[in-house]
Chain A
Amino acid sequence: MKLFDRTNFYYIVFSVIIYVLVGASFYLVVEHVIYQEVEQRLKVERRDFENFVRAHGVWDESCYFVENKIELTALADTLVPVTEFKDTLLYNRYNNEYVPFREYSFVSHVGGAPHKVTIRKSLIESRTLLKSITGIMMAVLSLGLLVLFLFQRRIARRIWAPFYQTLSRAKSFDLNEGKGLTLTPEEIFEFNELNSVLNKVTDKIARDYTSLKEFTENASHEIQTPLALINSRVEELIQQRNFSDEQMRWIQDIYQSALRLSKLHQALLLLSKIEHGQFFEWETINLTEAMANKLEEFEEIFTHKTIKVQFTKTGAFNVQMHPVLADVLITNLLSNAVKHNHAQGIIDIVGTGHTLRVSNTGSALTTSPERLFERFKKQNQSSSSLGLGLAIVKKICESYHLAIQYSFDEGMHTLTISSPTAGE
């Protein structure tokens, strides 16, 4: 629910309640005032009546021509209680309808005998007045509420505009640009605070990110350069002939360790670059097709290791990925399947529209399957492999929201990469 919708909702609920309450209480108050007024006048008429009776001794109906205006009823028993004021409906013979009246009853002695005297006053004018006053009042009130509603909506839009601007700027914040948001100061204190906090935070993020990126790049440069020197010096050294076999072995060890160090370093750099999301560009890559191409490159090694490869493709598995990472992903999957295979083994690859499955024959794991994707977890600790291949595969999958699963069944290790929409 949007902020405006929420405030509008509350406003509407609140104003409807207010409207009903104000309407009802206004009606009641006006009605009360009118009754007071009518009763006041009825009391005045009672005094006029009593004065008349006192002066003339009798009540002369004829001086009041209005029908039912004053009615006298002889009372046998004066102890019967008489209701003072009450509402009643009387028939109007011209309009053929009942008309509301207020009547005032009291006991009076006319001609020596007790009579119940009832004086009535028509309420029709007062009713009309009450209705129209209330109607006008309600119309004015609703107009006021409507205007207020429109006004506050407009004001809210204007007031919140900087907030929405900040929001859209924050949404389009791109780390890769290397600088934080530059939000302009606002007049409203809270928004100003928000902007300056966002400026500060994004600035820090951008700076940290840049320095991290620089660090990885520098580390890469600073470490690879001495390694390059070691390698080239060793290559020069082996051009000499006057070394004993033992010395030659030492040189070889140095050479291979330096190479290994360099590869290890590159693999770790790759991992940290993936982790820090330094691969921004992406394109649509069909993993099934990429696998088919990679298989050609690996053909020689399959022949060499007498591994039989079965490849079934039933669809294009399209993902949005950095092309280099896609290549690393496929290569690592395949070399893993080759590395942990045995002679005359089988690699079975199935590519569907949303999964890529690589199975290979091989002996059962000695470590637990959960630790398979951890760094430096090698089946055989002394092997020459770096132990980073699957860690990299997992990192790539994670950063592109692909699921990766391992299973072992009937001597086949299976790694399945699937898109999150698989099975829908």
Chain B
Amino acid sequence: MKVLVVEDEMGLAESIAAHLTKDGFITETVFNYESALEKISLYTYDCVVVDINLPDGIGFDIVETLKKIKASSGIIIISARHALEDKIKSLDIGSDDYLTKPFHLSELNARVKSLLRRRHFGGSNEISFQEIRVNYISRKVFVGETEVTLSKKEYDLLLYFMSNIEVALTKPAMAEHLWGDNIDSADSFDMLYSHIKNLRKKLTDKGSKDYIHSIYGIGYKFGKN
């Protein structure tokens, strides 16, 4: 899976690339409009992450070029502008998702993966980790062959975990993923805690190992150790 990151803030680009690479993507980074155009004309990417404000151009034009050359890449716009018009325009011209800066890397990761899942439809409809399998079409979860019934939030949480394996996830990032940012953090952390407790219990009850690890003061990590 190849991802192109177009972001002029080098530190941020590097950070995104590092995070995605860690998750098994082949990531390339460019810092301006010109080199982004060069890259997309030469290579094919599964996903392109584009910043709107670039020093020598506008991210929207990259999206339009991609659409013009009929590239099959999924497109995620990242922008510091919170303007609703930008969001609407991004989706109008054919990008698949829109993230406002600052965002959590784990959120971007989850969005990239969800986008790729939606795009590569014909293949398997499942993602799995060890004995846990999630069918994201029917939204069913299995441990081995046994089905586990999860609430909507628990399902979202599990999918989020499985998109970010072996990644330390912060509580604010998880709460925002589940409820958006309109909710008081103290409440959301409590609710997050109880959802995690339930999810953990439901999975281990069906015979799964406990893959959810808490990290003191930070949040949680989903993985083998």
* Chain A contact residues, CB within 8 Å of chain B: 217, 220-225, 227-233, 235-236, 238-239, 245, 248-249, 251-252, 255-256, 258-259, 262-263, 266, 269-270, 300-301, 304-305, 324, 331, 335, 338-339, 384-385
Contacts and interface: CB of A to CB of B under 8 A. Distances in A.
B218 interface: yes
A217 B83 contact: yes
Contacts, number: 106
Given A229-B15, A301-B191, A304-B187, A235 B170 contact: yes
A235 B106 contact: yes
25 contacts: A217-B83, A224-B80, A227-B102, A228-B101, A228-B102, A229-B11, A230-B102, A231-B102, A231-B104, A232-B105, A235-B19, A238-B215, A238-B218, A249-B217, A255-B172, A258-B102, A259-B102, A262-B102, A266-B82, A300-B191, A304-B194, A305-B187, A324-B84, A338-B184, A339-B184
Interface in B54-70: none
Nearest to A249: B217
6 nearest interchain CB pairs?
A228-B102, A224-B80, A228-B101, A232-B15, A221-B80, A231-B102
A385 B170 contact: no
A241 B173 CA distance: 19
A285 B111 CA distance: 31
Nearest to B167: A239
Interface string B176-216: 00010111111100110010000000000000000000011
Interface in B132-187: 153, 167-168, 170, 172-173, 179, 181-187
Most buried by A among B15, B22, B186: B15
A76 B136 CA distance: 145
B129 interface: no
B169 to A, nearest CB: 9
Contacts of B12: 225, 228-229, 232
Nearest to B185: A384
A377 to B, nearest CB: 17
B26 interface: no
Most buried by B among A263, A300, A304: A300
A219 to B, nearest CB: 10
A224 B101 contact: yes
Given A235-B104, A236-B15, A259-B172, A385 B184 contact: yes
Given A229-B12, A245-B217, A301-B187, A263 B181 contact: yes
A304 B172 CA distance: 18
Contacts of B179: 300
A217 B173 contact: no
B15 A335 contact: no
A225 B215 CA distance: 28
B195 to A, nearest CB: 9
B184 A220 contact: no
Most buried by A among B22, B101, B185: B101
A239 B218 CA distance: 10
Interface string B84-110: 100000000000000011111110000
B131 interface: no
B30 interface: no
Contacts of B102: 224, 227-228, 230-232, 258-259, 262
B40 interface: no
B20 to A, nearest CB: 11
Most buried by A among B80, B81, B104, B194: B80
B184 A217 contact: no
A293 to B, nearest CB: 13
Given A231-B103, A235-B173, 7 more contacts: A221-B80, A229-B15, A232-B11, A235-B170, A236-B15, A238-B170, A304-B190
A228 B80 contact: yes
B18 to A, nearest CB: 6
Nearest to B219: A238
B210 to A, nearest CB: 19
A238 B166 CA distance: 12
Contacts of B82: 220, 224, 266, 269-270
Contacts of A225: 9, 12, 80, 101
Contacts of B167: 239
A36 to B, nearest CB: 90
A233 B187 contact: no
A227 B104 CA distance: 11
A335 B184 CA distance: 8
Most buried by B among A238, A245, A249, A385: A238
Given A228-B12, A228-B80, A263-B181, A248 B103 contact: no
A227 B187 contact: no
Contact of A220 (B80, B84, B191): B80
Given A235-B104, A384-B184, A220 B11 contact: no
A222 B79 CA distance: 11
A300 B153 contact: yes
Given A238-B168, A331-B182, A339-B184, A233 B15 contact: yes
Contact of B81 (A217, A233, A248, A262): A217
Nearest to A278: B83
A229 B81 CA distance: 15
Contacts of A251: 218
Most buried by A among B80, B102, B173, B218: B102
Nearest to A328: B182
A249 B217 CA distance: 7
A236 B173 CA distance: 13
B16 interface: yes
A229 B16 CA distance: 10
Contacts of A222: 80
Contacts of A248: 216-218
A385 B80 CA distance: 23
Interface string B15-57: 1101100100000000000000000000000000000010000
